[in-house]
Structure 1
Amino acid sequence: MNSPDDSPLESGGAVDPVQSLQEAVSAVFAPHGPLAEAADTFCPREGQTRMAQAVARVVAGGGVLVAEAATGVGKTFAYLVPALLSGERVLLSTATKTLQDQLFGRDLPSLARSLNLPVRMALLKGRGSYLCLHRLEAAPQALGTYERGLQHAISKIERWAQTTRTGDLAELPGLHENSPVIPLVTSTRENCLGAECPKWRACHVNLARREAMAADVVVVNHHLFFADLAIRESGMAELLPTVRVVIFDEAHQLNETGIQFLGQHLGTAQLLDFSRDLLAVGLQQARGLVDWSLLSNGVEIAARDLRMIFGSNRGSTRLRWVDEMPEGIEPREWRQSLGKLGEALLQAAEGLDKVSELAPDFVRLHERAVLLCEKVARFAGECEAGAVRWADVGSQLRLMESPLDIADVVRTRLLGSSETEQAPEAASEAVPSRAWVFVSATLGDDPNLTWFTGPCGLSEAEILRVGSPFDYARQAALYVPRQIVKPNDPAHGAQVARIAGDAVERLRGRTLVLTTTLRALRTIGEKLSERFKGTHVEVLVQGELPKRVLMDRFRAANSASSSGQGGAVLVASASFWEGVDLPGDTLQVVVIDKLPFPPPGDPLVEARCRRIEAEGRSAFADYSIPEAAVALKQGAGRLIRRETDTGMLVICDTRLTSMGYGKRLLAALPPMRRLADEAAFQETLQTLVKPDLQEGVMIDA
């Protein structure tokens, strides 16, 4: 990878590499630099250039940088420009596969063209994103009684398999990311046959890894990164030592993502997948030698029985783990269910051992059976010191054990290994230490960003905070209704729906309602649906359609509303608080039902609070308030996305203005102008109404 022709990096003589890279970065972001020439919409931003200079300093000299860059700074190019100009091999990790695809498919190629850099890029995802040709062959036989309807989807994948080069299932039109067919046609670490697989040479996972090893810039996601730290299997074990620059975008998700992989889990989905594979492979390759139906049914029934002792609730619930078992579970039933499951898995392992020499599939299935037996034994015993256990109960069951944060792992296995994991060819050369860059729009509410740096083991990192270039006082207003009841009042949801409905009616949609609970989501969604039944406004509620479909319909409806037709309101929770980009007139009002404090009954939250209290600190001040501040910043960040956007944020929780801690939460929000009362709310709504809708009734029956 080479620098641009006019880059100071190619000047003769002894040049300070940090200064040289910073000068090159300044040239790129200059008013008449490459970015300005490549895009008419580019304009120099002081904050973006300042952040890029900080990244350049760490990239060239090594070290750790934690950078919070508010919405509008342009953080993506602020870290990409110095990374590409450095000529180093770079690993980029982001929060989701969607953002990963955006970086690889849009941002990186666009910037490389602007800088005239011949950069070789690669995209690396986890196994579950790639088609497994070996499992595709066996998929029709693996269909259970209740899965026959998936045959059409498998046939579609078989046709696509003939033409795809990457095997990335995201490229297959119409396949939802949660489709039940995906586990049938993808591999896991447990069921992959490795070099023994008959499709090894054509394997899409191996192709992706080979391309990553040959690339200058590799784009991964946090799940893949931490999965490899846990199992050293995804290909990162070979890749990371060859990379000197590692950048985490959307870094605020690192801690919660990391603990998912650094602990232990046992789920009924795992068990049912094993049962299905056991039956399919047994009947296909050793029919008659073992009673495969008996063994498979034994595991399946035991897994379903374990789930049933938790009751019929199909909503997602986290149960505390009290001493030997999850809260509310009868001890005798718990021991009997685990014992029955362990026995079924042991019998399966014994059956597989009898035929293990016949095919590699049986060897791998035997290993899976043994591993599952070990996990059953683990969860029948005591929790590891310093960890916390809970049960995730929904349509499936997951038994979880995890550390409270990733601090120790980051300090010992990432930062502590930087010196020892240098590429072999660089070992004898005087090269800077590895550069670690952590970037997000929201990393805390204090100068040291301790909400992020503490749990992530980065207390010694360089800290940079870059404010937004937006004129929030002019572009946005904040309204906290004075007369609304307290959040725990049964009437609260209906009152939130009325306030949101007023905005929807006046603006013909263009409103996003963010809730903190699924109960509020349902209540507000139902009230808004009743109010706008028979009108041209579409009420979209999370859970009724996939997220991508909801977003597309919201954009389309509100685009139509600008011409006097259509319009939509979206009621959502959880993942919609972040990663939602709806600039312009598509979204002009964001309503938040209440302050997003962490749920007090959550086992992980309780364990973290106990640890803080044991250290003599306040769990509320040092954990709950920072958590709420970061979540509030994320939700508020959905409103203003461009310099030309205007809008209003409504927070339906009087604690924001009546409680002492409200000042801290208000300070975490962008500096919007405050609205004093409902009259000001209505007046501000009117200023947001499109000129051609100023006259007449806004909502037609």
Structure 2
Amino acid sequence: MVVSSLQNAVLAAFSPDGSLSVAEPGFRPRAGQTAMASAVAEAIENREVLVVEAGTGVGKTYAYLVPALLSGQRLLVSTATKALQDQLFARDLPRLVGALGLPLRMARLKGRSSYLCLERLERVRQGKTAPQDPQVLRAVAAVERWSKITRTGDLGELSALDERSPVVPLVTSTKDNCVGSDCAHWQDCHVNLARQEAMQADVVVINHHLLFADMDVRESGVAQLLPSTGVVVIDEAHQLNDIGVQFAGETLSSQQLIGYARDVLRSTSVHARGMADWLVLCATLEQAMRELRLQAGKPPVGGRLPWQGVTPQGLDAQRWRAALVHLGQSLRALLTPLAVMEAMAADLQRVYERGAELLTRLARFAAAADEDCVRWLEVGTQQLRMLESPLSIARIMRERLLGRVLDEENHSDQRNLDKGASWIFTSATLGRDAQLSWFVEPCGLRGARVLKVDSPFDYPRQAGLYIPQPFAAAGSAQHSQQVAQLALDGAQRLGGRTLVLTTTLKALNSISAALRNGLGLFGELEVLVQGEAPKLALIQRFMAAGAAPQAPSARGCILVASATFWEGVDLPGDVLQLVVIDKLPFPPPDDPLVEARSRQLQSVGRHAFQDYMLPEAAMALKQGAGRLIRSETDQGVLAVCDARLATMAYGAELVAALPPMQLLLSQGEFEARLEALAQRRDKA
């Protein structure tokens, strides 16, 4: 094997006396990390597509950053969330660039909804969109004070502002309501400045949402970056397909249409006052939208209605169709006078083009969905969204992003090496088999080079797996009560330090309520619940409690969470010693996307449960289990409160997907392990 100059430079950097060891006293070479870095260097040299599953603790961030930075090529890194994006940009990259002594310009680019819009803030200040809620008014005032000192306009700088706050849409723009170059603040626009900075940088950090949100060159800015990028790294790649299908399809919401009507009324009052009965036309469109929402009925469990034909499941076809047609007619009636007047002002031209696009989208939802797409209706208490997405991002990845053909039989890249970028996809969980087909197939990457790097952790020594038996059946009335009792017993032995991961919000509410009832108002432990505070605040409170000495007045914490807490949560050391998973995380069978993917597999003679549901559960379970052991010195117990893991034939496959923890066969062994953890902590 011929070692390239880049590989030599990478191996030197990771050596015991290399630049990383010199710059970071705590750095220790790891065989897996060096092997991954060498493979990334080779892929960059050969301009290949490389898929790497790097087990927890490998140090994958440095393993891809070092060769990418040393290559001298422009680097684009995409992360799964804005939180990971911020961590990479603010902590990992500066530290590494300094260690390698590279004079590189770095930039972070997010979607426009992450940046303050000066024009929208001015409208709020002038009372044109003034909120009435006093709390919202106070939050807007805080944003205005911050606006005078921020350089980036990134709302992430405001730690007290939750991204779900109603203030965010008031002070940010969308593609639809941005007034473009006619804006008085165009030269100072934070979105434009962020894109300009990204275009001039050597290293750009984005997120998966931005990668897919709008592939049009004029909107996201990403399409402008890709042609001049030599290396593209997709970190936390296991989320790529799910995020991609959300943005690769079509969406039409009641908020878009009602917001459009109000923007038309505002624009015409300035540029076309009295030239049509704008108030009636806009009010008619809003009313038609509300009528369509009424036809959707009460929000269903889960909020989604499958939509296989021309009518969403369970709705009256005739009434739905009549309401949809009336909405289209109302939108067309508004566009008719706008078409005559659009040349009078750029603002009128923009709203006309925007309305024409909305009408085209509405016509799409009035017809049957394409065979290779899934369509559904999301119904809220007052709003609805019509959505249509492809079942996977395979075609989009091959045709619109990678720009290459992968030879699936010979597992080779058939692209001209003089063009395009090297693509590196990596995560701790990408598949159960050697080909990582759970990730590779839906992402259109069959034929890519694949590498699996095992975790350096000694799982049999560091962690135990407990499957309590007998136990109430998952989904039964008693199940959540028993999960709460197991978590409470364990947390009381450990002084808190317990994370409960649930598969549904219903279970989250039931388990947290049972824990609080069991502890009482002045219990020795505090129960933290997802949704009652921002995610970062919950994690900081949990970490502070776990790190505190066990003084008589100290209160440990039990954190009960779902959804986003299954991954991306790093709680190393003795802060977290027990992870409780309520039940096996199978995809909900009534979810429209799950139903459509199952039907597609069955249509070609494959087994939906074995080929889709089981691999999805295995990857989610592995992600949840990954919260427990985060360093070589961590120790803890994973309790999965689902007897199917031990009693069903497929349980062995799921256990095999987990790290090789020691199996705790009885309640006595479970309690003994917890007692050993408590004693270990007390001695520390």
The TM-score with structure 2 as length reference comes to 0.93
Q: Counterpart amino acid of 1:659? A: M
Counterpart residue number, 2:411: none
Matches of 1:684 and 1:447 in 2, distance apart? 33
2:578 to 589, 603, 611: 589
Counterpart residue number, 1:3: none
**RMSD across aligned C-alpha pairs, in angstroms?**
2.4
Of the structure 1 ranges 58-67 and 544-553, higher mean CA displacement relative to structure 2 is found in 544-553
1:113 to 98, 108, 111: 98
**Residues 1:495 and 1:561: Cα distance change in structure 2 (over 3 Å):** farther
Give yes or no for contact 1:120–1:217 (8 Å, CA) kept in 2.
Answer: yes
Matches of 1:231 and 1:654 in 2, distance apart? 51
Counterpart residue number, 1:319: 305
Counterpart residue number, 1:698: none
Give yes or no for contact 2:574–2:681 (8 Å, CA) kept in 1.
Answer: no
How many angstroms does 1:286 deviate by?
5.5
How many angstroms does 1:392 deviate by?
1.8
Matches of 2:49 and 2:600 in 1, distance apart? 27
Matches of 2:11 and 2:621 in 1, distance apart? 34
Matches of 1:278 and 1:156 in 2, distance apart? 30
Counterpart residue number, 1:477: 464
Give yes or no for contact 2:68–2:231 (8 Å, CA) kept in 1.
Answer: yes
Matches of 1:457 and 1:300 in 2, distance apart? 41
1:122 to 107, 110, 117: 107
Of the structure 1 ranges 336-345 and 475-484, higher mean CA displacement relative to structure 2 is found in 336-345
Counterpart residue number, 1:441: 428
How many angstroms does 1:690 deviate by?
5.0
Counterpart residue number, 2:247: 261
Give yes or no for contact 2:583–2:642 (8 Å, CA) kept in 1.
Answer: yes
Q: Once the two structures are superposed, what CA deviation does each residue of 1:402-460 show, in whole Å capped at 9, x if it has no partner?
A: 110011111222233599xxxxxxxxx98475211000010011111000000001110
**Residues 1:149 and 1:650: Cα distance change in structure 2 (over 3 Å):** closer
Give yes or no for contact 2:587–2:594 (8 Å, CA) kept in 1.
Answer: yes
Counterpart residue number, 2:410: none
How many angstroms does 1:173 deviate by?
4.1
Q: Counterpart amino acid of 2:561? A: A
1:666 correspondence with 2:655: yes
**Residues 1:545 and 1:219: Cα distance change in structure 2 (over 3 Å):** same
Provide the aligned length of Structure 1 versus Structure 2. Answer: 670
1:489 to 476, 498, 522: 476
Matches of 1:211 and 1:563 in 2, distance apart? 50
Give yes or no for contact 1:319–1:326 (8 Å, CA) kept in 2.
Answer: yes
How many angstroms does 1:329 deviate by?
1.1
Matches of 1:491 and 1:561 in 2, distance apart? 35
Counterpart residue number, 1:186: 172
How many angstroms does 1:662 deviate by?
1.1
Give yes or no for contact 2:21–2:28 (8 Å, CA) kept in 1.
Answer: yes
Counterpart residue number, 1:606: 595
Counterpart residue number, 2:49: 64
Alignment of 1:645-656 (within 5 A): 645-656=634-645
Q: Counterpart amino acid of 2:506? A: R
**Residues 1:144 and 1:380: Cα distance change in structure 2 (over 3 Å):** farther
Does the residue aligned with 1:25 lie in a helix, a strand or coil?
helix
Give yes or no for contact 1:559–1:567 (8 Å, CA) kept in 2.
Answer: no
How many angstroms does 1:327 deviate by?
1.0
Matches of 2:212 and 2:427 in 1, distance apart? 18
Q: Identify unmatched segments of 5+ residues in structure 1.
A: 1-14, 420-428, 695-701
**Residues 1:365 and 1:142: Cα distance change in structure 2 (over 3 Å):** farther
Counterpart residue number, 2:293: 307
Counterpart residue number, 1:551: 539
Q: Counterpart amino acid of 1:638? A: R
1:102 correspondence with 2:87: yes
Counterpart residue number, 2:530: 542
Alignment of 1:563-578 (within 5 A): 563-564=551-552, 565-578=554-567
Q: Identify unmatched segments of 5+ residues in structure 2.
A: 407-415
Matches of 1:70 and 1:162 in 2, distance apart? 44
Alignment of 1:207-286 (within 5 A): 207-229=193-215, 233-283=219-269
1:414 correspondence with 2:415: no
Q: Once the two structures are superposed, what CA deviation does each residue of 1:104-158 show, in whole Å capped at 9, x if it has no partner?
A: 1111110000111101111111111112222222235442776676343333333
Counterpart residue number, 2:409: none
Of the structure 1 ranges 139-148 and 234-243, higher mean CA displacement relative to structure 2 is found in 139-148
How many angstroms does 1:163 deviate by?
2.4
Query: What percentage of aligned pairs have identical amino acids?
Result: 53
Give yes or no for contact 2:123–2:129 (8 Å, CA) kept in 1.
Answer: no
Give yes or no for contact 1:515–1:573 (8 Å, CA) kept in 2.
Answer: yes
Q: Counterpart amino acid of 1:449? A: L
Alignment of 1:677-696 (within 5 A): 677-690=666-679
Does the residue aligned with 2:629 lie in a helix, a strand or coil?
coil
**Residues 1:275 and 1:558: Cα distance change in structure 2 (over 3 Å):** farther
How many angstroms does 1:475 deviate by?
0.8
Counterpart residue number, 1:511: 498
**Residues 1:355 and 1:298: Cα distance change in structure 2 (over 3 Å):** same
**Residues 1:440 and 1:604: Cα distance change in structure 2 (over 3 Å):** same
Matches of 1:546 and 1:30 in 2, distance apart? 41
Does the residue aligned with 1:105 lie in a helix, a strand or coil?
helix
Counterpart residue number, 2:118: 133
Give yes or no for contact 1:138–1:280 (8 Å, CA) kept in 2.
Answer: no
Matches of 1:692 and 1:113 in 2, distance apart? 36
Matches of 1:74 and 1:623 in 2, distance apart? 29
Does the residue aligned with 1:465 lie in a helix, a strand or coil?
strand
Does the residue aligned with 1:598 lie in a helix, a strand or coil?
coil
Of the structure 1 ranges 310-319 and 156-165, higher mean CA displacement relative to structure 2 is found in 310-319
Counterpart residue number, 1:426: none
Q: Counterpart amino acid of 2:440? A: T
The TM-score with structure 1 as length reference comes to 0.91
1:641 correspondence with 2:641: no
Q: Counterpart amino acid of 1:250? A: E
Does the residue aligned with 2:315 lie in a helix, a strand or coil?
coil
**Residues 1:197 and 1:49: Cα distance change in structure 2 (over 3 Å):** same
Give yes or no for contact 2:583–2:640 (8 Å, CA) kept in 1.
Answer: yes
1:401 correspondence with 2:388: yes
Give yes or no for contact 2:496–2:558 (8 Å, CA) kept in 1.
Answer: yes
Alignment of 1:162-173 (within 5 A): 162-173=148-159
Matches of 1:486 and 1:106 in 2, distance apart? 44
**Residues 1:322 and 1:601: Cα distance change in structure 2 (over 3 Å):** same
How many angstroms does 1:230 deviate by?
6.2
How many angstroms does 1:531 deviate by?
0.8
Matches of 1:459 and 1:679 in 2, distance apart? 47
Counterpart residue number, 2:450: 463
Q: Once the two structures are superposed, what CA deviation does each residue of 1:92-114 show, in whole Å capped at 9, x if it has no partner?
A: 11111111111111111100001
Matches of 1:342 and 1:278 in 2, distance apart? 16
How many angstroms does 1:585 deviate by?
1.6
**Residues 1:146 and 1:402: Cα distance change in structure 2 (over 3 Å):** farther
Q: Counterpart amino acid of 2:74? A: R
Of the structure 1 ranges 310-319 and 461-470, higher mean CA displacement relative to structure 2 is found in 310-319
Matches of 2:353 and 2:571 in 1, distance apart? 47
Counterpart residue number, 2:67: 82
Give yes or no for contact 1:167–1:204 (8 Å, CA) kept in 2.
Answer: yes
Matches of 1:604 and 1:641 in 2, distance apart? 33
Of the structure 1 ranges 352-361 and 661-670, higher mean CA displacement relative to structure 2 is found in 352-361
Give yes or no for contact 2:80–2:207 (8 Å, CA) kept in 1.
Answer: yes
Matches of 1:469 and 1:531 in 2, distance apart? 39
Of the structure 1 ranges 27-36 and 554-563, higher mean CA displacement relative to structure 2 is found in 554-563
Give yes or no for contact 2:545–2:555 (8 Å, CA) kept in 1.
Answer: yes
1:453 to 440, 446, 450: 440
1:201 correspondence with 2:168: no
How many angstroms does 1:201 deviate by?
1.7
Alignment of 1:624-635 (within 5 A): 624-635=613-624
1:338 to 324, 330, 334: 324
Of the structure 1 ranges 553-562 and 596-605, higher mean CA displacement relative to structure 2 is found in 553-562
Matches of 2:479 and 2:652 in 1, distance apart? 23
**Residues 1:275 and 1:538: Cα distance change in structure 2 (over 3 Å):** farther
